[in-house]
Structure 1
């Protein structure tokens, strides 16, 4: 063990003396600092805007004045996706999924005000975030740090000297990996400490309650990811005849892992499972509402059947004699059927997304970058699953709002009485203010089991390769 530590100490000293490595480390730490600061500023600005807009819309809803409940249902309101504190670390899909949605009767509107709409086409290449630095740039630092791990020793003759003194290949490998991981820890740990302090000091309105646990999971995931790159770089150096070959091999793998394969898998997903256009999607929903999901139950027939059921239930021969306003019940029945149709089409859309994401998840067995990217977005609550969860919560909120309006109309007004009946603020108050809480960290991780398994497999494969190569190497060069 002393030999391993001595080798690690020597490697750290050599790395610190290399100006290129020191310069790269400074650049990485600088980029992390800039990314953290800009992310924090953007978080504060967007959160302040959202909180203000949320307060204004709630006030507008409560102060809309006396009016018919169904008019109030169309007056509607906006709800806003809260900005989570961990989004300053990993922007994820927040730039593309929109920040607000308008809620009203009969319609499920799409999310509006996507930040990506205000950017140029260069946004497709990504934004500078701390997660991007960890996922793409630090592995590049690792490559320049470790590509000469064995080739330099071999070229200088020091590897032969170490072996002749009884030091095993396994000890040399362990010492070098410990050294490089220690250097990375010196860069990474302070950042996560600052992130943890920020996440606990800054209140997040309860939208993401388990921030500390998520930060811990993020730390573990990134340590595993970067350790895989360290071990892989050491193994490539062990197998390469010259440092030039090792560097070329590692840079090729880096380009494949972080650029080519992720883009290729995304294109495959879009090609194999294309999404319908918004126009086709909306038209299909309206068609099924008019004609019925089976095409044999049109809207007029459904309304006639509903009328018949109410007349039979209350044993009267006219809707004017019903003890409630049939128009309100008819509207709610229409809402319920429209919701049913929407759920069917929405689930089809989600299935397409899931098929596309499954390709990305399985591709994480080819590149660990996809695994850590997906898990990182999930833990930061900026992934697609969180966006879908938020849309489900907002849709349930919309349905409850409309239901309250329609039932009040049915219970407190008469048939044919529309503009004559007006509800007031007491009814508006029964619609509670919208609050959103993300899924727990464990729920999120349960949706990324493939990615977590792939990271474990990458670790085991690299460990096996290092162990196998260490024992296969000849003791004398």
Structure 2
């Protein structure tokens, strides 16, 4: 197939498009919106990370500055875990505005993340935020459809289509030429945006990038480029199959609405309907009930812990907890923490299985809708998806459990079993022990885990490549000029 014919068709299309003032205005508006989205993302990223770093350090300094005291009191004093944003979250906000970025960590209790952007915003946030990813995923496809709706349908209407085909250009060359023409115009927006994105991405990391973040960046832009090419192909194919430009435009707008609004919203609703998750109140009450059944470490008359007490006395051959070689209360608190954490993790895993089913249902629909596939990939690569939030929760819980058990261990080692008199000085330990608990540092999900989480979305992208190739090949043989 002579490529010269394809390039000629693309060149001619590019020249004629800019004669349409409406297209120029629309493209200019999207370019301005894209620049604004990049600036907004940069501002949000800088503010959020500065705040997270500031209060993470302040929280840890507050922990270290506590005076000499009983380690059990320190366990209840607690600490905070803050989640910093990844560099790519500048361009894809994902679910960050709705999931909190701070968790209060204390003994015997697992808290959820708080202080989400949505909780401090007005109702306008429900309509979505202007992000670079949103422009790429929703607005640029709409621009592509406006560019491509009359690529072939208009030529069929004015009779020039038969003239082109009679001059030696076949359907395959014509279709590819029109697609290349749309793609070349798209690159006038995509390439400058790409260069600006890369520059900001470098600046945010002080030009010191990791291999993990580099791979995420390459895949982020690569998948978005492929996604936009899908719409170039769809626009030309629909125009070629339509009798008039009006029918082509209506069909393409319908496809755009179906892909970007109807299917995503409907998929979420159906997933939640088929796999119903318990409310937060139900979840917490179930955990509380199971903990009561298992035993209350703060209740001296609890049967479960009374059995533990009797076993310890027999094991160490003593008749009183005062004679044990370690602090009995600290040991009981350690056991209580193990029990409550085990129960919480059990319920959490059950809940996560429900959410996993909802997410798998949503990802399965990506075989019908490439928008869902690219949205999931975009959020995963920028660490703004649901899996990243759960990863943060688990890291915070592991830190909380380690902090509580460290304080329980100090109590067992340094606090006496002798009961104090009202006039006695409280049992305390040196404040230098607080430094044995390190500062919390959130680690974002690595590229390999992201790809594993989004394997269905990746497969669906390749499915769409194959599907559109087959449709294009079939159409080039069966389309008619009239």
User: Could you say whether these structures have the same fold, taking a TM-score greater than 0.5 normalized by the shorter chain as the test?
Assistant: yes
Partners of 1:211 and 1:442 lie apart in 2 by 11
Matches within 5 A, 1:393-412: 393-412=395-414
1:192 aligns with 2:186: no
Match of 2:163?
A: 161
Q: 1:406 to 1:138 in 2, by over 3 A?
A: same
TM-score normalized by structure 2? 0.94
Q: State how far apart, in whole Å, the 1-side matches of 2:190 and 2:387 are.
A: 27
- Distance in 2 (CA, whole Å) between partners of 1:417 and 1:339 is 29
Between the aligned partners of 1:123 and 1:42, the Cα distance in structure 2 is: 14
Q: Is 449-458 or 417-426 further displaced after alignment?
A: 417-426
Residues 299 and 134 (structure 1), Cα distance of their counterparts in 2 relative to 1, 3 Å cut: farther
Worse-matched range after superposition: 330-339 or 121-130: 121-130
Tell me what 1:449 maps to.
455
Residues 40-439 of structure 1 correspond to what in structure 2 (within 5 A)?
Answer: 40-203=42-205, 210-292=212-294, 300-416=302-418, 420-439=426-445
Residues 17/351 of structure 1: CA separation in 2 closer, same or farther (3 Å cut): same
Change in Cα spacing, 1:272 to 1:342, as seen in structure 2 (3 Å) is same
- 1:98-124 deviation digits (Å, cap 9, x = unpaired): 121100001111211111012222322
Preserved contact between residue 78 and residue 104 of structure 2 (Cα < 8 Å) = yes
Q: Tell me what 1:7 maps to.
A: 9
TM-superposed deviation, 1:274: 2.4
Deviations 1:381-425 (A, max 9, x none): 110000000100000000000011000000111114577321233
Deviates more, 1:15-24 or 1:248-257: 15-24
1:193 Cα shift?
2.1
Question: Partners of 1:25 and 1:145 in 2: how far apart?
Answer: 10
Deviations 1:151-172, CA, capped at 9 Å, x for gaps: 1121232221221122110011
Q: TM-score, normalised by structure 1?
A: 0.95
Shift of 1:343: 0.5
Kindly report structure 1 stretches of 4+ aligned residues shifted beyond 6 Å: 204-209
Q: Deviations over 1:30-62 (max 9, x none)?
A: 111000001111211122222221121111100
Q: Which whole-Å CA distance do the structure 2 matches of 1:304 and 1:192 have between them?
A: 66
Aligned length: 472
**Does the CA-based 8 Å contact 1:196-1:212 persist in structure 2?**
no
Listed one character per residue, the Cα deviations across residues 195-244 of structure 1 (whole Å, up to 9, x for unaligned) are 22222222389998722221110111111111111101111011000000
Q: What is the deviation of 1:189?
A: 2.1
C-alpha distance in 2 between matches for 1:279 and 1:171: 61
Q: Considering only aligned residues, what root-mean-square deviation do their CA atoms show, in Å?
A: 2.0
For 2:406 and 2:206, the matched residues in 1 are separated by 30
